[in-house]
Structure 1
């Protein structure tokens, strides 16, 4: 079994698991369905494709930078008829950074890593209006457990957030903290009672009948060295530069 770490960072993210009708909310961390959708898009899978292999991957998230919730009053019109769509509220996480991990069979995880290097469809962070500001792939797949990989991964927070963390430590009257406490959101251990559940286990992305199952979750906490992160500014990143050309379909 291999583990693939993903960096989910961008100006806006939105990970809905219970969003319906005119109120489109977001969870506080990436959902499994959202990340599976990102991986499926990178591979070029269509919305009606079989997802069973991706849904079976073990999944976990570490919150490196929680971000702030943003509410958007949304208006839209049909492109053909110009008829107004119903007004809606859409919620986002602004300036958030997460480290997500998927674990599974070696060959599948390797193919997912390669797909992220040259994605077929544009990767996005929950919604198509939320492209990543940094490369999604962090490193090549590793032969370790998923929770261990999340505990040992370096801190991916942005420079301004690191400065804020250091200033908060000094404001409390002590020296600059050498580590930071981060929250983990992991899949429930077999045979135990979950702390919570989320309907974000993807069954089908087919727009004619999207289907999701329940998933048990547990939480944990980890201390990550502050110095383990890279405080240098990230290089410019345009996710569209990575897209691979696709031959036209003869439908």
Structure 2
């Protein structure tokens, strides 16, 4: 068992799962579909390629730890069409930091993904093309399971006043159903499957020696 750890942080992120044309929403954390889309871009997989190329990626077990939840913001955009203009609402997360864990029995697959993310074929972005990630993205591949990594990996953001952090991870039973497994990224036949996820709150030890200037 091995796990690939990623750091997803940027001034802005957006992870939509059920957006309409005039309302583009975002989830509170990266979606499996969004992260796999980013990995597919790094590997050079195109939208209209054979969907079977996504299978090794969709079978990865997926988890997220919200080290910094970020602030939910809303923006307005004018979309001009033929003789009409629509006002659209777009939601995104500002100043968020996430630890993403991808688990597999195939360590070489995870190492290949890590290498591709460091030298991507296509540009990487966090949910929308105007939101590039800050570096580093890849934190490494470790010989442990996803849940252990989410609970023990050092925090990516320090906050002396935080009492807990939220984790969200894929389960086979006893979770909430979400439709964010990408079966096809084709613009004509885009399709997503279902998975189950569970959320927990992890208690954070107090840090009396916190240095406020360490974040600068």
TM-score by length of 1: 0.76
Q: Is 1:183 matched up with 2:147?
A: no
Q: What is the CA distance between 1:88 and its match in structure 2?
A: 1.1
Give the alignment partner of residue 203 of structure 1, picking from 158, 173, 183. Answer: 183
CA contact (8 A) 2:13 2:127 kept: yes
Q: Is 1:193 matched up with 2:174?
A: yes
Name the structure 1 match of 2:40: 40
Aligned ranges 1:83-232 → 2 under 5 Å: 86-104=86-104, 105-138=106-139, 140-157=140-157, 162=158, 165-166=159-160, 168=161, 180-188=163-171, 190=172, 192-194=173-175, 196-224=176-204, 232=214
Q: Structure 2: how far apart are the matches of 1:216 and 1:69?
A: 24
Unmatched 5+ residue regions in structure 1?
170-179, 235-251
Aligned ranges 1:4-83 → 2 under 5 Å: 4-49=4-49, 50-77=53-80
CA contact (8 A) 1:155 1:224 kept: no
CA contact (8 A) 1:76 1:85 kept: yes
Q: Structure 2: how far apart are the matches of 1:96 and 1:200?
A: 20
Give the secondary structure class of the aligned counterpart of 2:151: helix
Q: Structure 2: how far apart are the matches of 1:25 and 1:193?
A: 26
CA contact (8 A) 1:51 1:203 kept: yes
Equivalent residues, number: 209
TM-score by length of 2: 0.88
Q: Structure 2: how far apart are the matches of 1:101 and 1:225?
A: 22
| Runs of 4 or more above 3 Å deviation | 82-86, 223-227, 229-234
Greater strand content:
2
Q: What is the CA distance between 1:106 and its match in structure 2?
A: 1.1
